[in-house]
A = this chain, B = another copy of it.
Amino acid sequence: MKISKSHPRHESLVRREKLVRAWRDGVVVPEGLIAHGRGEAFDYLLGEESSAPALVAEKAAAAFLVRAKRPVISVNGNVAALAATQVVRLAEAIPARIEVNLFHRTEDRVRRLVKVLEKAGAEEVLGPRPDARIPGLDSKRALCHREGVYRADVVLVPLEDGDRAEALVRMGKTVISVDLNPLSRTSQRASIAVVDELTRALQHIEEFVLELQRNPNEAARIARVYEKDRNMRALYSFLNWRLKRLGARGRSRKKAAHA
């Protein structure tokens, strides 16, 4: 399907196309398509723009990544399909390791994801030869790399499963989630919950990383003053205001959801 650039839902439709293509290529699983739909619904409600509370969380995420000793970005099928380029750019900017971690893991799919990331410019991607386990997760879902997620102090886990986010927090790591659903277990459990669309979030985090690298004092200050609960309350207030407005005005052409 060709998608006209003038279509009011252009970016959203392009993302869907990318995912369906990645699913045909064995990178994305059907469950990933359903999960993407859940995110889309929240993005409509949020107005398909980064909210002020999301930007606050993104800047905090950047501060923790800049100050980390062993930062890692965890990548699954949807993340590779939607934002391989942004992941690679961010990993280079920090710099951080990239590790493929699949909820529905098969060795074939791990290899396919590594290829997608390498094509986007990644030089060394962890994932294919895991040598450690995340405690408290069953078999395949626990697999990880000692020099990657296992020993990381700060992990960025975009579109992560709730169980794994929780297990990583239990290991004492600073867990940064990117998830459009503020009610998801991942958002609830993460140390820093970025409630924003994946590509927007990664771009903002990269910009903040470059900014804070030039200003370590500011990075330290932001890492110190960020309060997750306050940030989430602001996010809920914003969502409530959006919903009230949508309900009152009915549907505006640009922002409302496609059937």
Contact = CB atoms under 8 A, between A and B. Distances in A.
A10 to B, nearest CB: 16
Nearest to A184: B259
A85 to B, nearest CB: 22
Interface in A20-45: 20, 23, 30-31, 33-42, 44-45
A184 B232 CA distance: 26
Interface string A69-100: 00000000000000000000000000000000
B41 A162 contact: no
Nearest to A159: B259
A118 interface: no
Contacts of A256: 183-185, 188
A213 B5 CA distance: 50
A-side binding surface: helix, strand, loop or mixed? Answer: helix
A233 B233 CA distance: 25
Contacts of A44: 38, 181, 183
A191 to B, nearest CB: 15
Interface residues of A, number: 48
Contacts of A259: 160-163, 165, 179, 181, 184-187
Interface in A171-193: 179, 181, 183-188
A162 B8 CA distance: 14
Top 3 nearest A-B pairs (CB, nearest first) are: A37-B37, A236-B247, A162-B259
Interface of A: 16, 19-20, 23, 30-31, 33-42, 44-45, 160-163, 165, 179, 181, 183-188, 232-233, 236-237, 239-240, 243-244, 246-248, 250-251, 256-259
9 contacts: A33-B37, A36-B37, A41-B41, A162-B258, A187-B259, A233-B247, A236-B247, A239-B243, A240-B240
